[in-house]
Structure 1
Amino acid sequence: MEEMKKGLEGVVALDTKISFIDGIQGILMYRGIKIEDLADLSYDAVSYLLINGNIPNETELLEYSQEIKKNRQINGKQIEVLNEFDFGIEALDGLRTAISCTAHFDLENNHHSPDANKNKSIRLVAKFPTIVAALHRASFGQEPLEPNDELSHGANFLYMLTGKIPTELEAEAMEKDLILSAEHELNPSTFSLRIAASTLSDLYSAVICGLCTLKGPLHGGARKGVMDMLDEVGTIENVQSYVLDKLEKKEKIMGFGHRVYKTYDPRARIYKDVAKRLSIEKQDSSWFDMAEEIERILYHEFVEIRGKSLYPNVDFYSAVVYKYLDIPAELATSIFAIGRVSGWIAHCMEQYADNRVIRPRAHFV
């Protein structure tokens, strides 16, 4: 009998040129470039890299950014649909339905040529932030704001969300967030999306598979879980009793541990730096201090005492960044998707280019 690995842990399913992870040394690369080097670029440049395979030159980046800006708007029919949603649900449910609706307005939806897929990829990257911001405003009975073409991808999203031009650091934080969220090899949402693409389903349908999988609390939903946890802890004085009580009850502490990384997640280091800088700009260190104290206690309990690897993952300090940006917890997973859509598209393109339908076997018991 062939060995069955629960959760497919450690199973290599396919070859990819899109990203590389070394979980022992804490390395993440997009297209062979370390995430630490990419984090200082614009999201547009990283999106172009993922989808097209190379860092754009000045002309390529300008043209790509202009195409994204031209396709940011959503039409009146789409806005009508958004206003019909049940706003008691998580925002990702609304985003999933809105993207499905958007497919109906795309004349190339069922065209599968490389050119048609490139056109659809631009529209998806461009419209994700507009839809998430419009959903949030609709939940308060507010009209969506027109995109601001003077702003970067991240800054424009914050503007459409709040109606305020973000500070330079806030804009940088949002841009970095989208870059750090953009790609992470065969995570559950990307694998589900590649399965859909392997059947030669269309790009929109594959992306919707990614959205449905991202929603789970063991994947993209974990970021919301960290934000909720910080609210539950409340103050730094409560951290120790909260953490030790969780450990005694053998309950999970959100934002720690990873299936692949056995050391510090390289994205978490970048988020931690941004969170600290935001705490200084906001003159409020409470969220950052709480998070750092949670990290300190868990490091002591697991790494120093038990000799086990337990470090912050991407969700932990990203949740602190969201707190300082005044982003509601219910939007966390949808904003993750704004960044991730470029990586998803890249995986769809790679699957289409060298396809075999993904169809594993099961061991009957």
Structure 2
Amino acid sequence: MFQKGLKDVIAVHTNIASVDGDKGELRYRGVSVGNLIATHSFEEVAYFMWNGVFPGDEELHELNEKMIAGRELPSHVIAIIDALPTNMPLMEVMRTAISAYGHTAFKDRTIEDQAIILTAALPVIIARHYRNQNGQTIVEADPALSHTANYLWMLTGEMPNDVQVEALETYLKLTMEHGLNASTFAARVTISTESDLVSAITSAIGTMKGPLHGGAPSGVIDLLEEMGTRDNIRRVVEGKIKGGERIMGFGHRIYKTEDPRSILLRDKCISMSGEDAWLDLATVAEKEIIALLEEHKPGRKLYTNVEYYAAAIMRSIDMPPELFTPTFSAARIVGWTAHAIEQLSDNTIFRPQSVYVGEFHVEG
């Protein structure tokens, strides 16, 4: 049976994550993401994704040491980043820099250690090129900081506060995995040829770069900025609905009810009520926008998606739009590497069929 784009075709059995769009449920290795993010750090959830169990104190210490070491980019990777044009988009720089890890010494490591190193390195790559783009001095990684706090530190050169770290870490944990999406599929297809992890992640970043997959939620930022205050919500949203415009941040191709990630990000925003005007505006606007959508488009079930509150959180920590998709990738690399490891554990090369629909010409 032909399914354009392989939509709804089951190609993988996985133990990594499950997405139930009808129930609005996302689970990592059988555990609801809500239970995971409430009690575990980014590092602990990443370990769980790679290994299927949570780390004990000794395992967590070892993981932290490996991630700190992974923040030290190889000299040739630094040279490549610094040699690239400063106007080169970040996703292309990330793809190029990660591909440079494909050398013998790196490939001699276990694939699990490779996954840790690439996960630790990606935020450093992003921050280095971002500061190069803006003519700023490079900020070196701080081994005393967590993965999330260190990312903010390297981007800004300022020590992040607890609210900023907590908000961004919630987002990173919620977006590190989401089933067999386009970039994850690209990683699994590449590694299924018995290629290497570096090539698989390079493929995934190249796929994430496409606006149909990794498009930044900048449209939500534009919406929030256009509203500005709660007094303008109805006027702006009704104007867009009547003009036939899409309300950015609402509706999802998989979830037929509320996106569980948006619920958890909303809860985080509400818990930080009063800390940031953008988070307050986002939570108030959501209720009114949903009511307006139901009023003008009854039965469509257009709920908030993860981009809506992701944008609000990114705006609250002053992260510019050009960093949205790279930051999304810095989270999703955990899922990419977990899927690549799983693919190799019971590998069959992906080889779907195609049907020729062109003309046949009579020869001779």
Given the two structures, how large is their TM-score scaled by the length of structure 1?
0.90
Tell me if structure 1 keeps the 8 A contact 2:132–2:138. yes
Corresponding residue for residue 155 of structure 1: 149
Unmatched runs of 5 consecutive residues or more in structure 1: none
8 Å CA contact 1:92, 1:331 repeated in 2: no
User: Is the contact between residue 239 and residue 290 of structure 1 (CA under 8 Å) also seen in structure 2?
Assistant: no
8 Å CA contact 2:102–2:198 kept in 1: the answer is: yes
- Determine if the alignment matches structure 1 residue 326 to structure 2 residue 286: no
1:94 is aligned to 2:93:
yes
The one-letter code of the counterpart of 1:57 is G
Deviates more, 1:355-364 or 1:152-161: 355-364
Sort the Cα spacing of 1:233 and 1:75 in 2 relative to 1 into closer, same or farther, 3 A. farther
Match of 2:308 in 1: 316
Written as runs of structure 1 = structure 2, the 5 A alignment for 1:1-365 is 2=1, 4-40=2-38, 41-104=40-103, 107-109=105-107, 111=108, 116-278=110-272, 280-282=274-276, 285-286=277-278, 288-290=280-282, 292-293=284-285, 296-302=288-294, 305-365=297-357
* Cα contact 1:256–1:316 (8 A) shared by 2: yes
Q: Structure 1 stretch 334-343 or stretch 288-297: which is displaced more?
A: 288-297
Deviations 1:165-212 (A, max 9, x none): 211121112221211111011111111111111111211111111111
Contact 1:228–1:329, Cα closer than 8 Å, also in 2: no
| Amino acid in the other structure paired with 2:187 | L
Distance change in 2, residues 1:140/1:188 (3 Å): same
Q: Is the 8 A contact 1:222 1:254 kept in 2?
A: no
Deviation at 1:6, TM superposition (A): 3.0
Amino acid across the alignment from 2:57: E
Deviation at 1:249, TM superposition (A): 4.1
Distance 1:87 1:226 in 2: 27
Contact 1:278–1:324 (CA<8 Å) still a contact in 2?
no
Deviation of 1:220 after TM superposition, in Å, equals 2.0
C-alpha distance in 2, partners of 1:18/1:220?
A: 21
Q: 1:271 to 1:360 in 2, by over 3 A?
A: same
Go from structure 1 to structure 2 and tell me whether the alpha carbon gap of 1:164 and 1:212 turns closer, same or farther (over 3 Å shift). Answer: same
> How many residue pairs are counted as aligned between the two chains?
356
Partner of 1:192, secondary structure, is helix
| CA–CA distance in structure 2, aligned partners of residues 246 and 116 of structure 1 | 52
1:361 to partner: Cα distance: 1.7
Shift, 1:242, TM fit: 3.6
Gap change, CA 1:21 and 1:152, over 3 Å in 2: same
Q: Structure 2: where are the runs of 5+ without partners? A: 358-364
> How far has the Cα of 1:336 moved from its partner?
0.6
**Rg: which structure is higher?**
2
Normalised by the size of structure 2, how large is the TM-score? 0.90
Distance apart, 1:309 and its partner CA:
1.7
Cα root mean square deviation, aligned: 2.2
Query: Does the CA contact (< 8 Å) of 2:270 and 2:283 recur in 1?
Result: no
- Tell which deviates more after alignment, 176-185 or 77-86: 77-86
Q: 1:213 to 1:225 in 2, by over 3 A?
A: farther
Aligned counterparts of 2:291 and 2:84: Cα–Cα separation in 1: 43
Contact 2:21 2:257 in 1 (8 A): yes
